[in-house]
Amino acid sequence: MPGNKKTLDTSKLAIEYSRYYQGKMQTAPKVPVTSLDDFSIWYTPGVAAVSLAVAKNPELSFQYTNRWNMLCILTDGSRVLGLGDIGPEGSLPVMEGKALIYKYLGGVDAIPIPVSAHEPEKIIQFALDIQPAFGAIHLEDIASPKCFRILEELKQKLTIPVWHDDQQGTAGVILAGLYNSLILTDRKLRNAKIVLMGAGAANIAAAKLLISAGASAGNLILVDSKGILQPEREDMDRMMLQNKWKYELALSTNAERREGNIDEAVEGADALIAASKPGPDVLSRSTLKKMNKGAILFALSNPVPEIWPKDAKEAGVRIVATGRSDFPNQVNNSLIFPSVIRGVLDVKSKAVPDEVIIAGAKELAQYAERDGSLTDEHILPTMMDREIYPLVAAAVGDSCVKLGISRINLTRKQIQRRAEEIIQKTQKMIDTLQKSNLIEPTSKVPAGKNRRK
């Protein structure tokens, strides 16, 4: 497996660095403090007036406190990365990493909150209870199918946006990549025949978002470990009771009522989105050869895609995307979640419905298209394209304003400027901390230093 040695190396470094830095995030003030006297403003007695004003009008908490920029990263650690259920403490390093990405790319103050509650109703109640402190809630690494119920109920009950990255983040970036792949292959989303292999959180959310974005449900076919999803499958009743989201898709997709497995599903398909299990032999060349000319393949399993891109290309697939950064066309959540959250926070949105995610995905897709760099090997921007973050944030915020779910109304340009300002300021802060050694370079890490020969 390519990259294996590198993985071992980074694992070792990650442990050493974590031991040295003892955490990736901390809190820092954003108001001047020159003497203890200042606390008569920031704290009692002055603060009482602010508290009274907010108590009278709780919406002022989005203006008089940092709530507008605060994100709760909520998890129960039940499905962390590819590691499975490793519990709340086990998930904390990952959640800290997510918070770091949020801060670095989106200027968002994200707080990792792993909880020991596992039952959906308890997690839902926890999110409702903690809502007053946050501008948005990011659900992370919660197992399927409970993640569907949690997201669905919280969407109805919270008055701040709730985002489940494994669903909306992945679905959003898949949609963006697909938009451009369809342009390149001269297809329309509403006519495209799309097969989704794997029916976990990512692909169920992707199927739903594709339908929201205009794909015809009947043209989609989902395939899971038991074969093609169709209404007469033996496990439909179990699905109805245990995973109604998948059940609904079994009823609404696959208009041809195809039966069988992946080979039967991809016959004449334009695009295959695989988010199933690590490859490289999960998909075969002979399977891909059954697809239409100019086929699109997203092989998204990590760390190894369902089939190596080279093999997929040899089987006639025109556009191949994976979840990895060492191949062209990385379908990466990090392209979308920092900017979606930046956007909803900046307009103090009450929700983040599908329309908003679609607006963000379109903007992300158009960025790759706009500068003329759209090719089969470049269907999406990369994380190096830093301008995308404020642009996508602006598209997202603008969409919230137009839908009437924002607490403040800003123009698209204003949202973009505000996002740029926040992100630049954050990066300047991080640079300053590093330059002044308040954040020490990794060369200071004893073991890390030794490695730098």
Partner 1 sequence: MPKKSIKTVVTANKESNAQSDSGIVIREIKKEELGKAASLVARLKRLNGEFDPLLKTTDSLDSEAQKTVERVASNSDSLIMVALVGSKVVGVVKADLKDRTFYEPRREGAIDEFYILPEFRRGSLGKDLLASISEKLKGRGAELITAEFPSQNEIAKRFYTKLGFRSLTNVYAKAES
Beta strands in 39-182 (DSSP E): 70-75, 109-114, 136-139, 162-164
| C-beta of 36 vs 241, nearer to partner 1 | 241
| C-beta of 244 vs 386, nearer to partner 1 | 244
Output the smallest distance, CB 236 to partner 1, in A: 5
Output the smallest distance, CB 115 to partner 1, in A: 28
Output the smallest distance, CB 241 to partner 1, in A: 5
Across-strand partners of 113? Answer: 74
Task: Give dist(CA 302, CA 81) in Å, integer.
Answer: 9
Task: Give dist(CA 229, CA 246) in Å, integer.
Answer: 9
| C-beta of 233 vs 386, nearer to partner 1 | 233
Asked if residue 299 lies in contact with residue 307, where contact means CB atoms within 8 angstroms, the answer is: yes
**DSSP label of 219:** G
The catalytically annotated residue of 98, 193, 208, 246 is 98
| C-beta of 232 vs 326, nearer to partner 1 | 232
In the numeric block, the tokens 């990090």 are attached to 334
Output the smallest distance, CB 229 to partner 1, in A: 11
| C-beta of 235 vs 354, nearer to partner 1 | 235
The catalytically annotated residue of 6, 12, 30, 43 is 43
- Please spell the DSSP secondary structure of 257-305, one letter per residue: ---SSHHHHHTT-SEEEE-SS--SSSS-HHHHTTSPTTEEEEE--SSS-
Interior/surface letters 346-373, b for 16+ CB within 10 angstroms, e for the rest = bbbbbbbbbebbbbbbbbbbbbbeeeee
Output the smallest distance, CB 235 to partner 1, in A: 9
413 is catalytic: no
Task: Give dist(CA 142, CA 158) in Å, integer.
Answer: 18
| Calculated CA dihedral for residues 350, 356, 360, 365, nearest 10 degrees | 170
Asked if residue 141 lies in contact with residue 163, where contact means CB atoms within 8 angstroms, the answer is: no
Asked if residue 151 lies in contact with residue 183, where contact means CB atoms within 8 angstroms, the answer is: no
Structure tokens at 230: 């169709």
| C-beta of 67 vs 246, nearer to partner 1 | 246
12 is catalytic: no
| C-beta of 236 vs 433, nearer to partner 1 | 236
Output the smallest distance, CB 256 to partner 1, in A: 14
| C-beta of 130 vs 236, nearer to partner 1 | 236
- Residues near partner 1 (CB under 8 A): 231-232, 234, 236-238, 240-241, 247, 250-251
Output the smallest distance, CB 145 to partner 1, in A: 15
The vertex-415 CA angle with 31 and 71, nearest 5°, equals: 55
Structure tokens at 11: 């694992």
Contacts of 435 by beta carbon, 8 Å cutoff, 6+ apart: none
Output the smallest distance, CB 255 to partner 1, in A: 12
- Please spell the DSSP secondary structure of 345-375, one letter per residue: HHTT-S---HHHHHHHHHHHHHHHHHTT--B
3-class state of residue 23 by DSSP? coil
| Calculated CA dihedral for residues 363, 369, 372, 378, nearest 10 degrees | 110
Give the catalytic positions in this structure.
43, 98
